[in-house]
Amino acid sequence: MMRMMTRLGKALLVCLPSAGLAVGLAYGLEWILNAPISAAGLASSALVPIIIGMPVIYYIEGQSAKLKNAIVTLDLMREEAEERAKRDSMTGLYNHQHFMEKIHEGGRRDDGSLIILDIDHFKNINDNYGHAQGDEALIHVVAAVRKAVRAGDVVGRIGGEEFAVFLLDANKEEAKMVASRIRQTVESIEFIPEDGVKAPLTVSVGVAMKDEMDNVIGALQLADMRMYKAKQSGRNQVVDSGLEAEVFDLSNGAQG
């Protein structure tokens, strides 16, 4: 109702001056032509612009409002589509590409710490309980990671069962604390893929600081190597140091 009254008000604002102009023109013609104008003529001069103009302007205002609403809706749809393109469809986390963009955003290339984690024996979960339960395990782990990280940390799914966390301005002790909290939170998950059967969920975690490498990409690679070291060392643990080239060979790394 309010919108309709607004549109009527706008129509009147346009039509009333037009009606006044028409009356003035009628009097002008009377003076020029020296021909008297009847009351009916004056009334029609005033009313015709209003009668014709009001519906036209009202309609135009309505179409303009619809167009504005359509533009707003399209903008929202575009923003939603762009946001969905940044996210992993299953977990809602940033996908690999956007995670990499985020860790370079706003000068972040030169600071921060990286955590890489991988679900232990994930292939066994899919093989023993089916892929639907494997997806459920992923969702449980993601919820645990979200619970364990800090408010400003960036979390992404960078592989099938592999995830990364970027901690802006985190020192080694802070990064290790977050990594340990992730490991403990995942380990405490009550995952029951079959009635009465609890299956363990654990993660192997690697941590690296930017100042160990030339840049954050190097730290990401180092954290990934340490995650593999955690798997080779027995899984369900955090590794934040080590001479990777001497202690293990990635080509022979443990799987799952």
Structure tokens at 5: 């009254």
DSSP state string for 199-246: ----EEEEEEEGGGSSSHHHHHHHHHHHHHHHHHTTSS-EE----HHH
Structure tokens at 110: 């030169």
* Gap between the Cα atoms of 67 and 155, Å rounded: 39
Q: 71 or 248: which carries more pLDDT confidence?
A: 71
Helices (H) and strands (E) in the chain, counts: 8, 5
Q: Looking at the chain, which runs of residues are DSSP E strands?
A: 113-119, 154-157, 162-167, 203-209, 238-239
Furthest C-alpha separation in the chain? 112
The packing angle between helices 131-148 and 172-187, to 10°, is 140
Lowest mean pLDDT among 36-50, 100-114, 215-229: 36-50
In the residue annotation, 246 being an active-site residue is answered as: no
Q: 91 or 242: which carries more pLDDT confidence?
A: 91
Does this model's pTM top 0.85? My answer is no
Give 115's strand partners.
Answer: 165, 207
What three-state secondary structure class fits 241? coil
Residue 202 predicted with pLDDT over 80: yes
Out of 80, 105, 161, 246, the active site residue is 161
* Gap between the Cα atoms of 228 and 254, Å rounded: 7
Q: 245 or 18: which carries more pLDDT confidence?
A: 18
Q: Taking a C-beta distance cutoff of 8 angstroms, is the pair 253, 220 a contact?
A: no
- Work out the pLDDT band at 1, boundaries 50, 70, 90: low
Task: Answer positive or negative: Cα dihedral of 178, 184, 187, 191.
Answer: negative
Give the model confidence (pLDDT) of 134-178 as tens digits.
999 999 999 999 999 988 899 999 999 999 999 988 888 999 999
- Work out the pLDDT band at 248, boundaries 50, 70, 90: very low
What does CATH list as the number for 96-252? Answer: 3.30.70.270
Give the model confidence (pLDDT) of 43-71 as tens digits.
455 545 555 555 656 566 667 777 788 88
DSSP state string for 86-153: HB-TTT-SB-HHHHHHHHTGGGGGGS-EEEEEEETTHHHHHHHH-HHHHHHHHHHHHHHHHHHS-TT-
